[in-house]
Amino acid sequence: MLCGKPYLLESYRNLEDKKYLLKCALACHDGNVINAVIGFLRNSLNKSLFQSTLLEVGGAEQYISYLLQVEEVAEAEDIVSMIGKSDDAAMTRYRFVNAVTQIDNKIQLLKNCRSSHFDLDLNLASDAIHLKNQVDLLQIQQIIEKADVELEAQGRHPIMRVHKRKGTLPDQSMMTTLYYCCLYHYDNEASQFCSPKYLIQRFQLSEAQLQWTAIKTLARLKRWQQLEQLLTGKKWYGGSTKSTVIGFHNVVKLLAHAKATPDIISSYCALIPVEEERLRIAKKFKCTPAIVETLIAMKDRAQLLQLKSTLLPGSLELQKANAALKNSSIKWRT
């Protein structure tokens, strides 16, 4: 068999001979030989005897891999359960179901998978919750998709007219769905499936996930007022302050990626608390207004003079730099 020559396995008739044949095949470490022998045993033994032979001699893992390749998932589950790995059997079924592309079929198969495998094992309780969330997300995506296809076809959604939808929403990831809803439905009421607020509440997404996604979409749409509202919170003693759970250095990075104007980027760069970090980020994204402001705040006369020589004549940045250099009240670093 290893040499590729013709062979006949039917001469191995009794059970002990067949077990010996399987041992020899496993000792060869050749996948084709092992699969051929296991196939012979499968065809020549009843199911229970075949499975017990695999459990006693070995080859179950190799057989499971083969079954998954040919999509005989039910048999693979039986073998996995037989060797005492019910959690592996559940995941075997889930991987197969998750590869289904027809959404209605996928939803039903996921429900069946959960009830037949995950709900029955307390060790898989958290996975069962994830499975329920996946089904719920698919159903929500279907509802949003149906409504948005109609809106797009009728030309009644102003953002969709400028930023065309790409592909379909069902079966996209949670974060892709959140991005989609922030882009097209940011202002919708929290009670609506398409609202980002609804997704945050229903799937218990974090504030960081919301801010990362909302900042990207609001910057893409140039909706600066709403971006400011997103990052503005109330102080304990009254008034308001800007804050973010992702760090203002990441806010600046997202704004720069969206090609926000220098004054917008500078306004958020100024909120980076550590001056050295603020200067590094401002230089990285070539935000000249923020560089000037930070060098003045750091009282770094040498760097400010060096920067001044590169500034455009008559620019606001040059005016600020000159005013600071002429200000005798500033105690520059030596």
Average pLDDT along the chain: 89
State pLDDT tens for residues 108-125.
999 988 987 788 778 888
Cβ(259)–Cβ(285) below 8 Å: no
pTM equals 0.76
State pLDDT tens for residues 54-77.
778 887 777 777 776 777 777 776
Confidence tier at 85 by pLDDT (50, 70, 90): low
pLDDT value for 70 = 73
Q: What phi-psi label fits residue 292: left (phi over 0), alpha (psi between -120 and 50 degrees) or beta? A: alpha
Q: What is the DSSP letter of 270?
A: T
Checking if the pLDDT of 129 tops 80, the result is yes
d(CA 333, CA 268): 25
State pLDDT tens for residues 161-192.
999 999 999 999 999 999 999 999 999 999 99
Cβ burial of 265 (10 Å; 0-12, 13-18, 19+) is buried
Structure tokens at 161: 């007219």
SS (H, E, C) 159-225: HHHHCCCCCCCCCCCHHHHHHHHHHHHCCCCCCCCCCHHHHHHHHCCCHHHHHHHHHHHHHHCCCHH
- Residues near 47 by Cβ (< 8 Å), separated by ≥ 6? none
Q: What is the DSSP letter of 331?
A: -
Mean pLDDT of 253-277: 94
Structure tokens at 226: 């709403």
Of 139, 102, 110, 141, the closest CA to residue 127 belongs to 110
d(CA 101, CA 129): 22
State pLDDT tens for residues 8-26.
788 788 888 888 888 888 8
